Amino acid sequence: MRPGPLTLLAALCLSAPTGADEISRLEEIYGPGDLAMVSGLGRLTVGVNGRGRISLCKWPTPGYNDQLTYRTRTRDAPALGVEPGHGILWGIRLDGELVWMNDPRWEVYQHYDAPSNSIMVTEARWPNSSIAVTQRVSVLPLRDVLVTELAVSGLALLPQIYWYANFTPCTRHIPEIPVADSLLDALNDFAAFSDPDEGLVVHFRPEKPSKEDWERAKRLTQDAATPGQWRTFKDGTWIGYRGSQGLRKVHCGSGVVTPSQAVGLLPDTTGRPSSASGQTYSVVEIVPKRESDRYIASVVVGFGKNYQQLKDLLDDVAETDAGESFHEIAQFHRRIIDSTVYPDALGQRALEYSWRAQLTLLAARDVNTGSFVRSPAIQPPLARDWPKHGAWIVHAMDLAGDLDIAEMQLKFYLNNIRTEYARGKPIGSLPASTYTDGMEASPHFIVDDEAVAWLLWALKEHSAFLPDARRDEFLESIWEQVVLCADFLAAWKDSRRGAPLWADDPITFRDPTTRERLFAAKLGLDSAISIADEIGRAPAKLWTDRQRQVDNLVRGIVLDQTNQWPVGGSLPMFLDQLAEMDEQVLDQAVTRRLQALDDLSGYDAAWSFAQAAMLWRGQKDKLEDLKPSAERALENSLTALTGDEAMGLREPLFPDALAAALCIVAIRTIYGFDD
């Protein structure tokens, strides 16, 4: 029998990850997140923290590698325990005092330049003065170039402006250790040097530096080698930057210093080459230009495989000032937004939040593989692709009409299905998480049976969006992988009790509850059997026997003595074949989720609203009742109030692709785009 319309729905809503608790536990282990905004379109990806310090730099993809030294410690410490010399910072002399953008005395407000782009803006005002600065940071479309600008107003005289960068070029990511590029900074980096003739400062690391490479770099530093000698190192990660109006003074150093100490090491004269090896940093003085009542300085950073590629990239944008670059970025992002059809009935604010969700997802996607990370963040280490989360992103893309993007992501997962047995890697299973190139990121002993179930559900749901002829072709093309996954899911059980075998939650590293995993097993088996029915194939007896067993286990674990959902349960609904669906109780569940929205934020708000929409999926009269809550739900999912509540100012929340996907799922479901 084909599952009823609520069969997959119930398992879908009951099997979702908990999100906020997961991230909180990860922060306890790896350090708190310090990322407020992010910019990127699937290649170079850059982010800033809540004070404007650049705290994230990923290249060549949003999944890897981390190219900065940046490490938080605890939420109990000032600046989350980040060392003063970490990340990238603008500095300015005010009344003789050197002040950096992360100085807590600045009164800061952050936002994106417009709802339709990902230009990150930090506005800061110096207390008890008319001095104000505006920092803009973003990534050029289709090129691995970062543009950052500082505009200063309220000063009568030309200010001294500095730019400090602690790049840590990284050339590797290690299987099953997703924190290697960020927590092992001492094993990354290599050298930095200035090239006065080209107006460049370069940080680089060869792909696999040998002992001879390290010794050579040390000698070149000691001998004050020419830039030409540094340029001959082999391919790897090469990061270089130029400043507006040139770079007046440059210092490349190594070791641990504060940005202010680095400025103190700047030479007295201009045009002198500088170099360092080991754990390096660089600092430059930039002469700003005056525009009206503001002084403006900018830096353009390029990323390449070698010196020549890096130089060519920066030469291509040399004649473009920062203002023109930001205009190009805004126009490109706007074209992406305009190419997407949104519901006409969506209010303006809700529409703008929907744009933000779309851009958040694009910043999390590897354009080469189609893989999505939960977030580009290094702390906690969320720059990985979890299939159990990715199923929601696939569904969001399907609902939005981006079928090619959804299918590319599904193919990424299908290619990761294990076809040969190895210890801790059963045939038909999936890695709990991967880097965006498919390399396993989670330890292999984490067997995530829920990942397989969610993939089967995503495949079935995706096929429903395809034209009839294309649907059969697609399902036939994936049938062998479906068999592998369903066989694994059906066999992965305790022979004595019938419950799923041991597993481990891919984020918390704890055993998920039997209840959650039973729902996942039901979800996956229902999906596999439905796919078989769709293309006229007989589902394996192993699948149907296990499906009946899971149904009976669910009845025994969840339903009350009257075979009904317990009213006080976490979600009072169930698979329609197993119990009568009490419409009043279901409506109460939706009402509770709407009432909770005011107290929720981020993922929790997005998940609550998406649940409400999915529970009423297909019931147009009831979905109509959700529309007045759309703006509030999206607002709480993607932003938070800041400062004086009466002013109503909101700032972006930690970029989370899963929360963004849930926002899209909710809006598209409510406004009828899931037909």
Q: What are 257-279's pLDDT values in tens digits?
A: 999 999 999 998 888 899 999 99
Q: What's the rounded Cα separation, in Å, for the pair 356 and 103?
A: 29
Tell the residue number behind the tokens 């989360």, with chain if given: 389
DSSP string computed for 326-361: HHHHHHHHHHHHHTS---TTS-HHHHHHHHHHHHHH
| Amino acid making up residue 312 | D
CA angle at 176 for the pair 172 and 177, rounded to the nearest 5°: 60
Question: What band does 585 get if pLDDT is binned at 50, 70 and 90?
Answer: low
Q: How far apart are the first and last CA of the chain?
A: 23
Reported as type and span, the H/E element at residue 237 is: strand 236-243
pLDDT digits (tens, 9 = 90+) for 56-95: 999 999 999 999 999 999 989 999 999 999 999 999 999 8
In the predicted model, what is the mean pLDDT of residues 474-495? 96
The rounded Cα 446 to chain-centroid distance in angstroms is: 22
Q: How far apart are CA 460 and CA 456, in angstroms?
A: 6
To the nearest whole number, what is the mean pLDDT of the chain? 89
Cα 439 from Cα 347, distance rounded (Å): 42
In one-letter notation, the amino acid at residue 423 is R
578 has pLDDT over 80: no
Spatial separation of the C-alpha atoms in residues 147 and 323, rounded to whole Å: 10
Two tokens, residue 509: 């590293």
With beta carbons less than 8 A apart as the criterion, state whether 139 and 367 touch: no
Quick check: 577 pLDDT over 50?
A: no
Query: Looking at residue 512, what is its pLDDT?
Result: 57
What is the rounded average pLDDT of the residues 409-420? 97
Nearest to 376 by CA among 135, 34, 88: 34
The answer for 556, left when phi > 0, alpha when psi is -120 to 50, beta otherwise, is alpha
Residue (of 267, 265, 262, 194) closest to 225 by Cα position: 194
At residue 540's C-alpha, the angle toward residues 539 and 546, to 5°, is: 105
pLDDT, one tens digit per residue, over 131-161 is 999 999 999 999 999 999 999 999 989 999 9
Name the more confident of 650 and 484: 484
CA distance 440 to 437: 9
As a whole-number percent, the residues of the chain with pLDDT over 70 amount to 89
pLDDT, tens digit (0-9, with 9 covering 90-100), for 550-566: 888 877 776 666 665 55
Give dist(CA 327, CA 178) in Å, integer: 36
Number of other CB atoms surrounding residue 423 within 10 Å: 7
Record the pTM.
0.93
Distance CA 374, CA 418 (A): 22
Omega of the bond leading into 60 within 30 degrees of 0 (cis): yes
